[in-house]
Amino acid sequence: MSLAHVILGLLQQQERTGYDLKTKCFDDCISHLWQADQAQIYRTLDKLESQGWITCNVEIQHDRPNRKVYRITEAGEAELTHWLQTHHPLPVLREPLLVQLYFAAQLPNEAIVYLLEQELEARQEKLAQCETIEALSLSNPTASREQKLHRLVLDLVKQREQTYLDWLEKAIATIRSQST
């Protein structure tokens, strides 16, 4: 499971709680990279701990639930380093919109255009989210090796969205220009 390795990567940066991982990491910093559900994060932390790849230190709190602070172990670092250098199969992508277009021959042009316009809007919003994350990243003035890699990743994600936007505009124009 890759989520386990994303978490190992985040814990290698610094020790964190499940709550930190969800709010500060997955939601605020790497939502363009990997989305994760809170329940799955906690359950994956349990698995990583029982594997011996992370350890947990409980900070007692009285006004709210205790914080379980997780830290990567040497075995965890070794596992991460190994995983980082292993090629993984391309993820399978299943896009409802493409299925809709594929089977849309019976629909009137206006219905198809409407569908494409809604997708365009959703994709524009997603690109905007990427740009928010980019702004956050660029606000950090250091040009470390890590920063450069983060920007490379953002470049792809943004370019991917731009490819969709360009294609959607072309597709809308194509459908509109048709008689039927």
Contacts to DNA by CB under 7 A: 1-3, 17-20, 22-23, 35-40, 42-43, 45-46, 61, 63-69, 92, 94
Q: In whole angstroms, how far apart are CA 106 and each of 31, 69, 120?
A: 37, 56, 22
Q: In angstroms, give the least distance from the CB of 173 to DNA.
A: 31
Does residue 103 touch a second copy according to CB under 8 A?
A: yes
The residues facing 71 across adjacent strands are 55
Residue 71 touches which member of DNA, a second copy, none, C-beta under 5-8 Å by kind: none
Q: In angstroms, give the least distance from the CB of 79 to DNA.
A: 14
Cα distance between residue 151 and residue 3, in whole Å: 21
Choosing from 39, 58, 60, 105, the residue that interacts with a second copy (CB under 8 A) is 105
Name the segment binding a second copy (CB under 8 A); options: 14-22, 45-53, 59-67, 111-119. 111-119
Whether the Cβ atoms of residue 21 and residue 31 lie closer than 8 Å to each other: no
Does residue 137 touch a second copy according to CB under 8 A?
A: no
- Residue placing its CB nearer to DNA in the complex, 90 or 135: 90
**Half-sphere CA count of 178, side-chain side, radius 13 A:** 14
Choosing from 21, 72, 115, 133, the residue that interacts with a second copy (CB under 8 A) is 115
Choosing from 5, 48, 54, 79, the residue that interacts with a second copy (CB under 8 A) is 5
Cα distance between residue 16 and residue 22, in whole Å: 10
Residue 179 touches which member of a second copy, DNA, none, C-beta under 5-8 Å by kind: none
Q: In angstroms, give the least distance from the CB of 40 to DNA.
A: 3
